[in-house]
């Protein structure tokens, strides 16, 4: 079940990211580290009412942010939707113990529903280029790769789907 997170979830969220970072490192992916995402980033997500968690029973096993914020690097991409009516997904992650259950796919569908209910024309996000699993999933879900941006950890593909 996906729900909006509150500040009471912050410690669980930090623990989830610690687990995910270890899992990514074990796969040879150096996407996230002690600098990002930091506890302060996660707390701000919650305070901005854009942090959503996926729970199995009482355990937080997945996370994503949905808002209209984006890094300046996004301005270099030729987006399909040229209006300001879009939502951006950030920091999608699933506990390594719960991967392969379709949770990431549910988050993307949830984001699409948020877009539709808020009259947004598209959903955008970026994904670490070295992570082949996420890139394949997003393309399978109908997202187009529109270019790439460079952040501190390397190259990220930019995806968008118009509704």
Give the pLDDT score at 129: 94
Name the band, by pLDDT with cuts 50, 70 and 90, for residue 30: confident
CATH no. for residue 117? 3.40.630.30
Count of structural domains, the chain: 1
pTM over 0.85: yes
- Tell the burial category of 82 from Cβ atoms under 10 Å away from its Cβ (0-12, 13-18, 19+): exposed
Q: Which residues contact 142 (CB under 8 A, 6 or more apart)?
A: 161
pLDDT in tens, 123-155: 999 999 999 889 999 999 999 999 999 999 999
Domain that holds residue 37: 2-162
Rounded to an integer, what distance in angstroms lies between the CA atom of residue 144 and that of residue 50?
A: 24
Mean pLDDT of 111-117: 98
Q: In what order do the strands lie in the sheet with 2-4?
A: 2-4, 51-56, 59-67, 86-94, 122-128, 154-162, 144-151
């Amino acid at each position: 079940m996906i729900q909006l997170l509150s500040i009471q979830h912050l410690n669980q969220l930090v623990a989830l990211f610690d687990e995910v970072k270890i899992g990514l490192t074990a796969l040879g992916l150096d996407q996230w580290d002690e600098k990002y995402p930091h506890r302060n980033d996660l707390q701000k997500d919650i305070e901005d009412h854009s942090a959503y968690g996926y729970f199995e029973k009482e355990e937080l096993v997945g996370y994503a942010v949905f808002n209209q914020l984006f890094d300046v690097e996004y301005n270099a991409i030729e987006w399909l939707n040229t209006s300001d009516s879009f939502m951006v997904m950030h920091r999608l992650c699933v506990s390594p113990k719960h991967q392969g259950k379709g949770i990431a796919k549910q988050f993307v569908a949830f984001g699409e529903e948020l877009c539709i209910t808020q009259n947004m024309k598209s959903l955008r996000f970026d994904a670490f280029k070295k992570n082949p699993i996420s890139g394949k999933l997003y393309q399978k879900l109908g997202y187009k790769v529109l270019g790439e941006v460079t952040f501190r950890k390397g190259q990220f593909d930019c995806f968008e789907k118009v509704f």
